[in-house]
Amino acid sequence: MKKILFFISMLLLLNVNSFSQGLSIFVHSGYTFGDRFPVYGGTGKIYDGHTYGGAINYEISDFYAIEIAYSRQDSRVTAVSSSLLLAIDEPLSSNYILGGVNRQLKVSKEATLYGGMKLGAVIYSTSGSRFDAVTRFAVGLNAGAKYMFAEKIGLRIQANLNSPVTDIGSSLWWSPGSGVNVGVSSYTPILQFGFTGGLVFQL
């Protein structure tokens, strides 16, 4: 019985060690540009702002890696020239939680190029009580490069394009207490493009 338990324990330790060899953590900071979008009776805008977050990456082969990422941008949202809401100017936080696969190209032992697509959710929230937080399905595209200047530590730079997705005929909206809604047509999505960079820690 002791030999069986010892054998099982060794297998578990080997599996954990094998898993951790392909596991890395990416912490980043960057900048996301603003975007305009139509609202009922006018135009809305999400402003640019600082972006930060992190990701957990696991290489399943030399060519592919699974990644779960979180990013947050703090900026403002306004309704410009809107006949329904003339005074919308609120602080806004865009929180993306996405997961997907990256396709990798190892240029050398230290350098890797990659690109991928992710699916998940975005949460738009304001610091005030005037508007409700909104959660929507979201997609993201990313491309970048990683360079390991040491065995366990490296640099990573990345371009991101994230967007909320709504069904045809529905809208992305903020709902104030008065019941007035600001809608965004599904065929004109909000596109949030930006750059991030930071450190990679190989576990």
pLDDT in tens, 166-202: 653 345 554 444 444 445 444 557 889 999 999 999 9
Structure tokens at 166: 């709504």
Looking at every residue in the chain, the average pLDDT score rounds to 79
The pLDDT tens digits of the residues spanning 65-110 come to 999 999 999 998 887 665 555 567 788 899 999 999 999 999 998 9
Domains annotated for the chain, with CATH where assigned, are 24-202 (2.40.160.20)
* Per-residue confidence band for 14, with pLDDT thresholds at 50, 70 and 90: very low
pLDDT bin (cut points 50, 70, 90) of residue 41 is low
74: Cβ–Cβ under 8 A, 6 or more apart, which residues?
49, 50, 91, 92, 93
Which pLDDT does position 10 carry in this prediction?
47
Q: What is the per-residue pLDDT across 128-158, written as a single tens digit (0 to 9) for each? A: 656 677 888 899 999 999 999 998 999 999 9
Q: How far apart are CA 191 and CA 158, in angstroms?
A: 16
